[in-house]
Structure 1
Amino acid sequence: MMRILHSLPRTHKLLLLPVATMVTVLGAHKIVTAVEDARHDRQTQDTVLVPLEADATPGVPALNPAPVSEAIHLASRAMDATREPVPVSELAATEIVDVSFLESSPEIAAALPARDEEASAPRLDEGARHLAIVIGTVASGMLAADERLVADATSYEDISEDELELFDEGPIVLEEEIAASEPYVPEWQTYTVESGDTFAIMAQEHLGMGYGEVMNLLESLPEPRLLTHWRVGQHFEYQLDEQGELLALRLMKNARDGYLIERGEQGVEVATIERAGEATQRLYAGTVNGSFARSAQATGLTSAEVARLSHVLEKKLDFRRDTRRGDRFRVLVESDLIDGESLDPRVLAVRYEGARMNLTLVRNSDDNRFYTPDGESLDPAFDRRPFDGYYRLSSHFNPRRRHPVTGRISPHKGTDFAMPTGTPVNAPADGRVEKVGNHPAAGRYIVIRHDNGYKTRYLHLSRPLVSRGDRVTRGERIALSGNTGRSTGPHLHYEVLVNNRQVDAMKVDLPESQSLSGEALVAFQRAAEPMLAALESGETGTAVASTAAEASDDEG
């Protein structure tokens, strides 16, 4: 192995060529060295300035031409040696180092000139040596790039004064500049109520609010109990600004409804929150075993859903008299699912198969009323008069009527029609006979509860034709008129009650026929098809529940 070792380290020899060239040829007052690290192509370039004294002359002091030329010659030969092999015969004696294998090679030994042990090796000028040590270290990567030297280095960029001022405080670090310019974005935080917490103290400690602001907030909130009557484990969400003061407060009464409170310069503003849920359908199937309500709850229906179902069926079904053990029913319910909680249940369809009645009802989304699959309404037309033909109205409805004998106010809460005894009396609408009796003043009488919730009463009858609990339909004969009880002559006393209060039967708004027809009927039947199919097949994508309730048959 051969090395070129003489006087200076090899790295410094390689640096003598560019150093000497810049000093002697360019004659610059300042030496500018462009540094490029060949091992890191993307490394940024540095500029090194070596200032000279104001009275200095071109060139480097203490550098004589002979030593400089010699340095250039040695550096050139050293560089050549790094690029391609140099024949041994061309090497000077001072450039050869003894190695053990030289003695065993006659060819090499013959080519080598005789050594002059006493000949002194030429030495470099101390100025060149010092300059190489100072500058060469910086420029060590310049020659390692082979042909990429700085002989033709230049710049074509035109940099304005304004642009230079941007870098007066140093280079810009992009990540830091972006982080500094990002606006503050408040995040929602959650507070969970613990034992002993009060909103007034919590708001001052965590929300940056004063006592007066807390009172103003409570006065602005439609339901202040949400903040004044806390339960352990409740939680609400809030946002704070950069100073740690309240920006917004979100209170939820349940999974769907709540309030958004925002704090501004003018005080607090309160807005309502209503979350939309995902509509889901559930099918429940059961068998009557005791009361209908308990049997329905046994399928998994909630109390609210059972109440809605009972309200739908009671217009056609008397739960006390018409239900029998073993009757079957199916109910299709739709509700909004929010965070796993079922809200706002809606009965879509129901089928009841009983010993005394079969009934199928479907909800119409256009008017939220229930109809049979044929489009017949649960609220049929209601006749104004409960008889056929025309009979004179002998006494009007009058809550301020005076008694003809005593002169005192004696309200007349019905309408009297003068008619011969035995005139047929008809049911004005479908319903159920609630009472049949005999009263000293009213005489023989009948009370009917109709499917639309109205009631009718018939007094001074000669003969009832129905019994308590009977189902009657519109136009069906229910009694014969008479003159029983306290009566001044044959007539029919007729009353209509709405919400158990007597109203003027000749003026009250009565239900008209709500049965569907034409395009409305076609649209309803098209929408009802999947609901009827679910009732028939028992498949809606959810499990079907069944009852297991056990109760006595006489429970209402």
Structure 2
Amino acid sequence: MLRILHSLPRTHKLLLLPVATMVTVLGAQKIVTTYQDVQREHRTLDTVIVPLEVDASPGLPSLSFQRSPLGDAIDIASQALDATRQHMPLANLVDEESFELELIDSASASADGDLPLALTRPSNSQPEADLAEALPTHLDQGAVHMAVVVGTIGSGMLDHDGTLMADATSYEPLPDDELGLFEDGPVILEQEIAANKSFVPEWQTYEVKQGDTFAVMAQNRLGMGYSEVIRLLDQLPDKAVLARWRAGDSFDYQLDEDGNLLAMRMMRNARDGFLVERDDSGFEVATIERTGEASQRLFAGTVSGSFTRSAQATGLSSAEISELSRVLGKKLDFRRDTRRGDRFQVLVESDIIDGSSFDPRVLAVQYEGERLDLTLIRNDTDNNFYTPNGESLDPAFNRYPFEGSYRLSSNFNPRRKHPVTGRVSPHRGTDFAMPIGTPVVAPADGRVEKVANHPTAGRYIVVRHDNGYQTRYLHLSRPLVSRGDRVTMGERIALSGNTGRSTGPHLHYEVLVNSSQVNAMTVSLPENKSLSGDKLVAFRRQAEPLLAVLQSGDTGTVVASRRSNDEG
């Protein structure tokens, strides 16, 4: 019948393709069944002929052949059947022509190989692999395997040397336990991990409630005795951290397996706190100090009322205003020099921790006022403030308040005796004999505090200098300045004279430190602290970006600017 099938026209072969496929499967089934029957009846193998190549090794027939494009599937199936019946090697199978192939959805046949077969029309959505699923389930698996081998050859899934191509795969999976992968049984990791798990203390947080005391809480929650609580409080540098609780405060703690305190962490603020850890002898206390991220903030405001209230209106803290007042106070008299409408900017750097500011440092100040314009920059090297040109707020202080050379007629002497009465009459200044009208100059920068007349001192002037010192000039013939005037080193402030109780023309000169007279000829006076040379170059390089911030008003972080309506 198969030879007749082979001689049919090509269109007839296409219609009978399912028949040829099933014949291949059933033919292989018949061979294997016959072989099994022979084995059961102890018959010889003469009735079963499986052709092999002369040089073939035991096993399946050689599958090596020259692979070519997929040919006429019906001719391949016919040749395979002929080879089986006529003892032809499977390697002699050849393809004749490539063509489009459509497969049926399913096919069925009886186990004894009787035809015809039951066929189902092709479906566009039916995959080719479903054809194998349509085979009778009671077919011998060896026959199915031989049919799959033949199908593999016909579909081109074997390379010319008999090895599977990249898209080939096994057609029947095997369970892992049959391959010996778990000879000792599966390993349950959860059980083994649980068996070796050790205790690891975890940090917990306690929030203080109204009426809580540490002594009671420690005994109830931390497993501490009263004596342990007392010893711990004695070891803390700041007992208020635990002794003066407020509702809402919190601290972290760790307990051991028995519920006793291992460690405790308490913060006084976002930056500072204490760490308590249990050791063999009791508790050990260490200090916690958190470091923050340096952040620059620019505050800008306008004077309206007192300078302090105007600075507070910008958002500056009390500590920042205190440092600002100290810096500006060396050049600015807040009671007399500030005017409504004066503008100021303050660049502050501080450490930011959890949104809170710590250790504020004024980096730069700019004041634009009716009576004074001033810009000051902090120098990182010595933390002193200088003008952009490197001039110090604490300039040099000259020893003598005049130009030229004049005779010292009376020294500073707190134990001097009066020449007539013989009683102790302290002389708390230094007298220089000089003609009336001799110019008197300021020995350092400062501000005139007082210009007045006195029966004994005559006409006199008091000047407060930027370094905090004061100077007084007595027996003057004429003052050249007024109260509140700003004076600079070397500026003429008066003319000498002979007013008040004086025995002759002279200048009585006093220097006061902390409001007490000192010997002007021996007191330690500030030297010139202005920057020069390499120090000046380095300072200008550092000051450049700070000046740019003051001019642009942009720090890249936070800029605060308010106008105060408060009156001082």
Q: TM-score range by the shorter chain?
A: 0.5 to 0.7
Q: 1:439 matched to which residue of 2?
A: 454
Q: 1:459 matched to which residue of 2?
A: 474
Structure-2 separation of matches of 1:501 and 1:270: 48
Q: 2:490 matched to which residue of 1?
A: 475
Q: 2:554 matched to which residue of 1?
A: 539
Q: 1:494 aligns with which of 503, 509, 518?
A: 509
Q: 2:313 matched to which residue of 1?
A: 298
Letter aligned with residue 283 of structure 2: V
Structure-1 separation of matches of 2:380 and 2:193: 55
CA contact (8 A) 2:270 2:356 kept: yes
- Report the Cα offset of residue 333 of structure 1: 1.6
CA contact (8 A) 1:296 1:547 kept: no
Q: 1:378 matched to which residue of 2?
A: 393
CA RMSD of superposed structures (Å): 3.6
Structure-1 separation of matches of 2:307 and 2:411: 42
Q: 2:200 matched to which residue of 1?
A: 185
State the Cα deviation string for residues 131-152 of structure 1 (Å, max 9, x = none): xxxxxxxxxxxxx9999999xx
Q: 2:283 matched to which residue of 1?
A: 268
Moved more, 303-312 or 391-400: 391-400
| Aligned pairs (5 A) from 1:129-140 | none
Structure-1 separation of matches of 2:409 and 2:457: 17
When normalised by structure 2's length, the TM-score is 0.63
Structure-2 separation of matches of 1:217 and 1:405: 74
Letter aligned with residue 525 of structure 1: R
Structure-1 separation of matches of 2:424 and 2:255: 69
Q: 1:362 matched to which residue of 2?
A: 377
- Report the Cα offset of residue 474 of structure 1: 0.5
State the Cα deviation string for residues 73-121 of structure 1 (Å, max 9, x = none): xxxxxxxxxxxx97599xxxxxxxxxxxxxxxxxxxxxxxxxxxxxxxx
Letter aligned with residue 382 of structure 2: D
Q: 2:360 matched to which residue of 1?
A: 345
Structure-1 separation of matches of 2:458 and 2:177: 130
Could you say what secondary structure the match of 1:545 adopts?
Answer: strand
- Report the Cα offset of residue 276 of structure 1: 1.0
- Report the Cα offset of residue 470 of structure 1: 0.6
Moved more, 287-296 or 503-512: 503-512
Letter aligned with residue 305 of structure 2: G
Letter aligned with residue 452 of structure 1: N
Structure-1 separation of matches of 2:498 and 2:268: 61
Q: How many residues align?
A: 403
Q: 1:506 matched to which residue of 2?
A: 521
* CA gap 1:249/1:385 in 2 versus in 1, 3 angstroms: farther
State the Cα deviation string for residues 464-483 of structure 1 (Å, max 9, x = none): 22110011000112223344
* CA gap 1:210/1:431 in 2 versus in 1, 3 angstroms: same
Q: 1:330 matched to which residue of 2?
A: 345
Structure-1 separation of matches of 2:319 and 2:549: 22
State the Cα deviation string for residues 379-425 of structure 1 (Å, max 9, x = none): 11111222233445555555566667777766554444454544432
* CA gap 1:457/1:234 in 2 versus in 1, 3 angstroms: farther
Q: 1:522 matched to which residue of 2?
A: 537
* CA gap 1:382/1:185 in 2 versus in 1, 3 angstroms: farther
State the Cα deviation string for residues 9-40 of structure 1 (Å, max 9, x = none): xxxxxxxxxxxxxxxxxxxxxxxxxxxxxxxx
Structure-2 separation of matches of 1:234 and 1:174: 43
Could you say what secondary structure the match of 2:551 adopts?
Answer: helix
Structure-2 separation of matches of 1:414 and 1:182: 86
Identical amino acids, percent of aligned pairs: 71
CA contact (8 A) 2:296 2:558 kept: no
Structure-2 separation of matches of 1:251 and 1:361: 41
* CA gap 1:193/1:87 in 2 versus in 1, 3 angstroms: same
* CA gap 1:428/1:149 in 2 versus in 1, 3 angstroms: closer
Structure-2 separation of matches of 1:148 and 1:348: 74
CA contact (8 A) 2:434 2:496 kept: yes
State the Cα deviation string for residues 280-308 of structure 1 (Å, max 9, x = none): 11222222222222222222222322222
* CA gap 1:268/1:384 in 2 versus in 1, 3 angstroms: farther
State the Cα deviation string for residues 164-218 of structure 1 (Å, max 9, x = none): xxx9xx9986544544545543322222222212222222222222222222222
Could you say what secondary structure the match of 1:191 adopts?
Answer: strand
- Report the Cα offset of residue 236 of structure 1: 2.0
Q: Which runs of 5+ in 2 are unaligned?
A: 1-109, 115-171
CA contact (8 A) 2:407 2:432 kept: yes
Letter aligned with residue 339 of structure 1: D
